[in-house]
């Protein structure tokens, strides 16, 4: 029988099948085939749309938990396949060996890249967190010199004491037995602190009555809008930005408010410094950069200083405050840890003769050497950061073909996302109790012992390791100890606690708590 006869017979049979039945059969085949890819690729792969439907479902809930589930199923690394002709192709990993390869071994081959820089540039400009190559090295060198100066370190320690005792504790005292958002209060604290240290200005956000803070609200809106760009096709978010609609419209309005704040601070700081002699012109980072010259011997332009402000606010405001919010939520779930911290704090201050009388509970100020000795508290904070890192995910771009230590092939130009959130929940890294809040895992013979950064990358690692790591720990320990020795922080019953999809791990609904005096 000829092939033409076979074809004619097939078409005759096909013509007798109802169109609806044919469509149903075809749809069933596509669905079964797409879903069958889940075992091989970690997610269903749909024609044309790739894995986008699964992503859209995942981000409606806790997106970080969704990613973690996929990574657990795929042994720590999978390739996300976006829609055809889109730039949403990405390798996602939570493998410590891969992370070390990205951030240290082949550091030069995994820059932020033009794609990621394009996403964050509206907010961060050409600052230290959004640049690569020589521009980044110049930023890093200048900033490192300042962070390691004795003058700035002394100013940081003084600022924490001043803000905690003159603002935080009075505000908390006014809110005893009244439900309030602790995350909001902590954001105000760290915002005031970073503005004083980095910008030489005091916005006064943390004060009785908790006044409106337009710049801080705008900053949070920006981080949320920028995060959405990572899961939106570039052409789409750029079109929305051009039209000023949706999250992009909100981003534009927030950027305007943030820029007004930053340029006003720069203008005012320039005016203040012009009337002061060099030695009294301030140790804040903005003042230092106003005195410095660029590589051509010129003063830095206002746009450079604006980007500096945005980058330091992101580093100093959001990271510590959201870490503390998650920490107090975890304490509420684990009262035995709270008791251990309280016992350690009391033991340390009793050694200097403090017994809760005489000096007065409200006037108790921890000394730097006492804060340093709070080993269990540092372990508990590290455990909180392991489970809830302030930056849940980060991105890089591949400059040439590479192969990860786990064997995953990477094509030049593909994006790489490493999930810090997922790393804290991998049994292969932390054991079967990886989801438990257990500070003891950080202690050896009662002393705090840190883990390698490629296993615990809460402060990044390699050449880009966080310059403010030591101060962040000091600030968090001082604030926690000052609160916990005075109050029990109780989370309001049935308050929903989930992370928001943003550059930093804000709690979507804040942290509603009630303070009980000890």
Token output for 5 = 């006869």
Asked whether the beta carbons of 222 and 123 are under 8 A apart, the reply is yes
Half-sphere exposure of 369 (CA within 13 A, CB side): 3
Contact between residue 423 and residue 482 where contact means Cβ atoms under 8 Å apart:
no
* CA separation for the pair 22, 27 (Å, rounded): 9
Does 466 carry a binding-site annotation? Answer: yes
Q: Give the closest residue to 172 by CA, choosing from 200, 217, 210, 204.
A: 210
How far apart CA 138 and CA 121 sit, in angstroms, is 18
What residue ranges in 339-452 does DSSP mark as E strands?
393-397, 402-403, 409-410, 415-419, 443-444, 447-448
What's the 3-state SS for 136-152? HHHHHHHHHHHHCCHHH
Provide the b/e sequence for 190-206 (b: ≥16 CB within 10 Å): bbbbbbbbbbbbebebb
Alpha helices in 455-515 (DSSP H): 469-484
Question: Residues 496, 218: contact at Cβ < 8 Å?
Answer: no
Q: If you search the block for the tokens 């996929």, which residue do you land on?
A: 70
Residues 6+ apart with CB under 8 A from 186: 320, 321, 322, 324, 325, 479
Instruction: Give the β-pairing of 90-93 and 415-419.
Output: parallel
CA 371/CA 148 separation, integer angstroms:
19
Note whether 192 and 162 are within 8 A (CB).
no
Give the CA-trace dihedral at 300, 303, 309, 311, to 10 degrees: -110
Rounded-to-integer distance, Cα 412 and Cα 109, Å: 10
What kind and span of H or E run contains 515?
Answer: strand 512-517
Label each residue of 94-132 as H, E or C. CCHHHHHHHHHHCHHHCCCHHHHHHHHHHHHCCCCCCCC
Q: Which residues pair with 507 in a beta bridge?
A: 499
Q: Which residues are annotated as a binding site?
A: 466
Q: Which residues are annotated as a binding site for heme?
A: 466
């Amino acid at each position: 029988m000829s092939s033409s006869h076979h074809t004619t017979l097939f078409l005759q049979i096909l013509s007798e099948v109802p169109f609806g039945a044919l469509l149903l059969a075809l749809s069933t085949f596509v669905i079964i085939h797409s879903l069958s890819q889940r075992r091989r690729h970690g997610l269903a792969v749909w024609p044309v749309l790739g894995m986008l439907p699964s992503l859209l479902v995942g981000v409606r809930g806790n997106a970080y938990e969704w990613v973690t589930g996929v990574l657990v199923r795929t042994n720590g690394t999978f390739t996300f396949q976006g829609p055809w002709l889109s730039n949403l192709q990405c390798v996602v990993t939570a493998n410590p060996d891969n992370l070390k390869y990205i951030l240290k071994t082949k550091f030069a081959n995994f820059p932020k890249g033009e794609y990621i820089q394009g996403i964050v540039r509206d907010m961060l400009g050409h600052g230290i967190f959004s640049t690569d190559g020589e521009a980044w090295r110049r930023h890093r060198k200048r900033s490192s010199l300042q962070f390691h100066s004795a003058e700035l370190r002394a100013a940081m320690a003084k600022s924490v004491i001043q803000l905690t005792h003159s603002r935080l504790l009075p505000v908390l005292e006014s809110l005893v037995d009244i439900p309030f958002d602790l995350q909001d209060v902590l954001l105000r604290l760290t915002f005031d602190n970073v503005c004083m240290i980095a910008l030489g200005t005091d916005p006064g956000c943390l004060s009785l009555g908790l006044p409106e803070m337009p710049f801080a609200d705008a900053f949070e809106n920006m981080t949320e809008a920028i995060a959405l760009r990572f899961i939106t096709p570039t052409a789409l978010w750029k079109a929305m930005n051009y039209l000023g609609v949706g999250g992009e419209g909100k981003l534009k309005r927030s950027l305007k408010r943030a820029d007004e704040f930053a340029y006003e601070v720069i203008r005012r700081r320039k005016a203040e410094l012009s009337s002061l002699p060099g030695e009294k012109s301030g140790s804040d980072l903005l003042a230092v950069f106003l005195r410095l010259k660029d590589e051509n011997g010129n003063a830095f332009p206002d746009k450079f200083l604006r980007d500096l402000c945005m980058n330091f606010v992101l580093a100093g405001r959001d990271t510590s405050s959201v870490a503390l919010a998650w920490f107090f939520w975890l304490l509420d779930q684990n009262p035995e840890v709270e008791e251990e911290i309280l016992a350690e704090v009391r033991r340390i201050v009793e050694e200097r003769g403090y017994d809760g009388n005489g000096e007065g509970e409200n006037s108790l100020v921890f000394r730097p050497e006492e804060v340093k000795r709070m080993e269990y508290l540092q372990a508990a904070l590290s455990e909180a950061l392991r489970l809830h890192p302030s930056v849940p995910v980060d991105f890089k771009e591949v400059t040439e073909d590479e192969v990860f230590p786990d064997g995953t092939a990477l094509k030049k130009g593909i994006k790489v996302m490493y999930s810090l959130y997922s790393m804290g929940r991998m049994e292969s890294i932390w054991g079967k109790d990886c989801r438990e809040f257990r500070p003891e895992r950080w202690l050896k013979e009662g002393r705090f012992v840190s883990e390698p950064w490629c296993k615990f990358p809460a402060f990044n690692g390699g050449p880009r390791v966080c310059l403010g790591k030591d101060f962040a720990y000091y600030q968090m320990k001082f604030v926690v100890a000052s609160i916990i020795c005075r109050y029990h922080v109780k989370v309001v019953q049935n308050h929903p606690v989930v992370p928001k999809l943003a550059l930093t791990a804000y709690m979507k609904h804040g942290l509603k708590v009630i303070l009980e005096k000890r």
